[in-house]
Amino acid sequence: MRHRTVAYYVGVDADDASILECAKTARIQNGHLICVLIAALPNLPYLNYGSNRFVEAGLPSNWLDVLDEKNAALKSRATEVEALLAARGVSANINAFIGSGTELQHLVAGHAKCCDIAFLDAELRKDPDLFHKVAYGVLFHSPVALMINGDPFAQRERIVLAWNDSLPASRAAHLAIPFFLTAKEVVVGCFDLRSSDDVEGEEPGTDVAGWLRHHGCKVTVSQFPCGGDTIEHCIQDRATELGADLVVMGAYGHSHLRESLFGGTTQAMLEQTGLPVLFGH
């Protein structure tokens, strides 16, 4: 997977070892890193409700000081990371920003628009809200795939495509083509989909398997009934049994009261740390 440009999202507190692990394979594969350091904005001012029914903004006395400290720490860390990667001969651009809510999501998306794939550093999980905001920004406001729990430059031997005939699953398959082409095997896994015995037509997964075979991929199609288990557990169990080193799947989300949320299966697969997953939407 040479010459790939990766948007690499890193928390301001990520240690050097974590960054260098990704940078090492980037250099070997002649890849380019858009290293994006992110910090969450301090809690915004609140509203005070007076007895006269009027509302006034309340600003914590140290809020601006906290913001200045965070900005200073972010800029300092960006300078350190830039020097760290330059010393290793890694092709990289360093960006840093602080934000919250939908503003943060759109800032995240802006850095991914001219990349091949986005990758979230594991250290971001220390702030679950920030982790999910970054993931949502990539998936729903940018055109690229999102990878977690794995090296975005690594060669993949066996890939499971979690297939359900949906538009997000189809988009994920299109975004994963570079990985499919270099894998030894692609397993199209149909989880709890009705077989041709239940409905007229081809067996589920046959059409996408034919498309991938035409590209030159070695593809097998498997029907995986979950037997009452959740889809996310079924995906993880079958992928582990098959020895898969990457799962490709569609991501689902919705907006509720202006807060971005993931669907249950997507949320669960984002939270697990045992399997590398490539999401598309």
> What number is the average pLDDT over the span 54-58?
55
Query: How does residue 176 score in pLDDT terms, banded at 50, 70 and 90?
Result: very high
pLDDT at 202: 76
What CATH number is attached to the domain comprising 213?
3.40.50.620
| Domain membership of residue 83 as a residue range | 5-48+55-147
Query: For residue 81, what are its two tokens?
Result: 């990371």
Other CB atoms within a 10 A radius of the CB of residue 275 amount to 18
Residue 136 to residue 131: CA distance in whole angstroms:
9
> What number is the average pLDDT over the span 71-87?
94
pTM: 0.88
Other CB atoms within a 10 A radius of the CB of residue 4 amount to 17
Name the phi and psi angles at 71, rounded to 5.
-65, -40
Residue finishing a domain among 118, 147, 176 = 147
Indicate whether 38 and 95 sit together in one domain: yes
Predicted confidence (pLDDT) per residue in 94-112, tens digit = 999 998 888 899 999 999 9
Predicted confidence (pLDDT) per residue in 3-15, tens digit = 899 999 999 888 9
Please give the tally of structural domains in the chain.
2
